[in-house]
Structure 1
Amino acid sequence: MPGPRGTGAVTRSTLRQQIADALRDEVLAGRLQPGQEFTVKEIAEQYGVSATPVREALVDLSAQGLLDADQHRGFRVHEYSLDDFRGIVEARGLVVDGMFHAIGDGRLSRLRSGEARATAALAGVRRRGEEAQRAAGAGDLTVLIGYDLRFWRELSALFGNPYLSDFLHRLRVQSWVCAVQHLRRIRELRGVLWCGHTELVDALSRRDTAAARAIIDAYNAHSLALIERLGAG
């Protein structure tokens, strides 16, 4: 008996996403360096898969700004400049400020099932923040990036706008890709990385948008100062 229609397409789509996620993690881990070149064939052989899902995954990552496509030479990891990082931080700040504006309008309290659901959801986000803070305190950059991305993904999802959530996630991945090339050069990261996740959630739980904005302003200033200092050598 034939299987359900579309199974092959779903499998390929899942594989495509898995490859894209794996390559993104390779870039964030610093194992794929800015400017490093590779071909579809090389990645397909590395993961033991066919070329089609690999090509689709690489095109997806190019659309997200993580790779550059060269029609004749394959792909290379995008090289972000300090000016790029400044622009990304400014953009993510504007998106987050829009989220805080929604809180002021009472949109968060009207989330789906109402106030109780929003409070429970924020508690879950806070747990992600606690893990991120532990990783930051330990100087574990790889673990921090994973929990930080989940933290912001889940926090932005509370506002019920998937376009905003996807855009912020893309900006945060790009900012980490830009920052990681500098941060990986530091032997000891304890006490260097931002760890205000739970403080931010607590401010949002109180609907204290002024405090939340102050936390984000301090975070952005910290990020810019750190990466500009490292980028200057």
Structure 2
Amino acid sequence: MAGIGGSGAVTRSTLRQQIADALRDEVLGGRLRPGQEFTVKEIAEQYGVSATPVREALVDLSAQGLLDADQHRGFRVHEYSGADYRGMIEARSLITEGMFQHLVATGMPQADDPRALAALAAVRRRGEEAQRAATAGDLNILIGYDLRYWRELSNLFGNTYLADFLHRMRVQSWVCTVQHLRHVSDLRGHLWSGHTALVDALARRDADGARAIVTAYNEHALTLIERLDAP
């Protein structure tokens, strides 16, 4: 990808993250396909950088479950199954359930806290963009907005560990989803678009309503992926 490592001020740590982000986008965009193999040298040549930050970026993505490392053949894009997706849904549900319990315990968002309400309104706007992309069946646009939406939404609950874990699970979920949905010619009507309904339920402090929305979303997504994964 043009521009990576183009500035002398870019540190190795920054370059490592840039490469990891670029490769993650390649996987999410379906340009690096399940099972596709590549070496550190190939990626370094592609991006015009040295091997060290590339190797570090690939190790990072392997630790996140997006790549498989092979000592002799390099790396390959991890292939996810319907069973994998079910496990991701279960893990995500544990996190969102904790969010809902926090909502009940604290009454978040506080009606007299303008900063919290402004942050929630910003998340809602992100959700509106995600919904438009979902309705149009534009998977690439949806993924970007959806990841930002959930990241910002989980940040409202003030636990960075929870937010980081949920973000990682959602990235993995999207990688798995992309591997299956790329076979569907028209995605209109297949993609979840309840982002604003969830924000509105949280704004009302309606934990049961928010829980029902997420449960329906998970059931819909799991049914779709398992159907596409069936032999």
TM-score (norm 2): 0.93
Write out aligned runs for 1:191-202 (5 A): 191-202=189-200
Instruction: Tell me, yes or no, if structure 1 residue 63 matches structure 2 residue 63.
Output: yes
* Structure 1: 5+ residue stretches without partners: 1-7
Structure 2 match to 1:100: 100
Structure 2 match to 1:42: 42
C-alpha distance in 1 between matches for 2:109 and 2:185: 43
Structure 1 match to 2:127: 129
C-alpha distance in 1 between matches for 2:74 and 2:205: 48
Displacement of 1:165 in angstroms is: 0.5
Structure 1 match to 2:85: 85
* Letter paired with 2:216: A
C-alpha distance in 2 between matches for 1:109 and 1:178: 33
Q: Deviations over 1:148-207 (max 9, x none)?
A: 000000001111111111100010010111111110111111111000000000000000
Number of aligned residue pairs: give it.
225
Displacement of 1:115 in angstroms is: 2.3
Write out aligned runs for 1:149-160 (5 A): 149-160=147-158
Instruction: Tell me, yes or no, if structure 1 residue 144 matches structure 2 residue 142.
Output: yes
Displacement of 1:9 in angstroms is: 9.2
C-alpha distance in 2 between matches for 1:169 and 1:57: 18
C-alpha distance in 1 between matches for 2:50 and 2:175: 27
* Structure 2: 5+ residue stretches without partners: 1-7
Structure 2 match to 1:187: 185
C-alpha distance in 1 between matches for 2:164 and 2:108: 18
Point out 4+ residue stretches in structure 1 off by more than 2 angstroms: 107-110
C-alpha distance in 2 between matches for 1:108 and 1:55: 42
Structure 2 match to 1:177: 175
* Structure 1 residues 121 and 65, CA gap change in structure 2 (3 angstroms): same
Say whether the 8 Å CA contact 1:104–1:209 is kept in structure 2: yes
Question: Aligned-pair RMSD on alpha carbons?
Answer: 1.7
C-alpha distance in 1 between matches for 2:100 and 2:9: 39
Say whether the 8 Å CA contact 1:107–1:159 is kept in structure 2: no
Q: Deviations over 1:203-233 (max 9, x none)?
A: 0000000000000000000001111111115
Structure 1 match to 2:4: none
C-alpha distance in 1 between matches for 2:113 and 2:211: 22
C-alpha distance in 2 between matches for 1:54 and 1:108: 42
Say whether the 8 Å CA contact 2:109–2:205 is kept in structure 1: no
Structure 1 match to 2:5: none
Structure 1 match to 2:73: 73
State, as a whole percentage, how many aligned pairs show the same letter: 76
Q: Deviations over 1:37-83 (max 9, x none)?
A: 11000000000111111111101101101011111111111111111
C-alpha distance in 1 between matches for 2:180 and 2:224: 9
TM-score (norm 1): 0.93
Q: Deviations over 1:105-146 (max 9, x none)?
A: 116346xxx722111110000011000000001100000000
